[in-house]
Amino acid sequence: MEIFLTKVDGVKVLCPKVFGDNRGSFMELWNEKVMKQNGLDDNFIQDNISTSVKGVLRGVHTQLKFPQAKIVSCLKGMIFDVAVDCRKDSTTFGKWYGELLSAENCRQMYLPEGVAHGFLTLEDAMVHMKVTTHYTPGDEIGFTWNDPKIGISWPIPVGMDLILADKDLQWGNFDDLVEKVNSFR
């Protein structure tokens, strides 16, 4: 597996090796030994799969009391996956990074605790997330996907109508999220 650093501290792109022949292909999505050798020693406890039709934008959110590290991969279709650094003490605080993840390129993105996550489906997609904590209702916090302060360059094709959950339409801005985090800690 090749692992690449990004411009957001701790966020990494994972590129599993794919072995193929006339029968199909094989790859390892997760190998604890390889991950630990590359500094990823989180204790992952749950795997989640979501499906989304083309045009769905999920996020941008993180957790307040029970932060999660996660590894995101796209098993079907294609997404633009985004990480935003919400860690006030980080050298890349407020910076974002985006990566195309698809069933074809097999790339994954690792996000450490305190980094917000969102994605846009560019095709109907099935997304796999390996996480370090269980979902805790009411613990999710976020900010609006188009906050100009963060300035995420979402690759929204001309004519694509975005589909967002009500909660994702009602988030405040990035500064509101930071204020909530700081008042909690």
Its domain, for residue 59, covers 2-184
Per-residue pLDDT tens digits for 63-98: 999 999 999 999 999 999 999 999 999 999 999 999
CATH number of the domain where residue 161 is located: 2.60.120.10
Q: How many domains does the chain have?
A: 1
The two structure tokens encoding residue 169 = 């339409």
Q: Rounded to two decimals, what is the model's pTM? A: 0.94
Over the stretch 96-148, which tens digit does the pLDDT of each residue have?
999 999 999 999 999 999 999 999 999 999 999 999 999 899 999 999 999 99
Q: What is the pLDDT of residue 185?
A: 61
Q: What is the pLDDT of residues 143-164, one digit of tens each?
A: 999 999 999 999 999 999 999 9
Q: 184 pLDDT exceeds 80?
A: no
CA 47 from chain center: how many Å? Answer: 14
The helix (H) or strand (E) run that includes residue 20 is strand 18-21
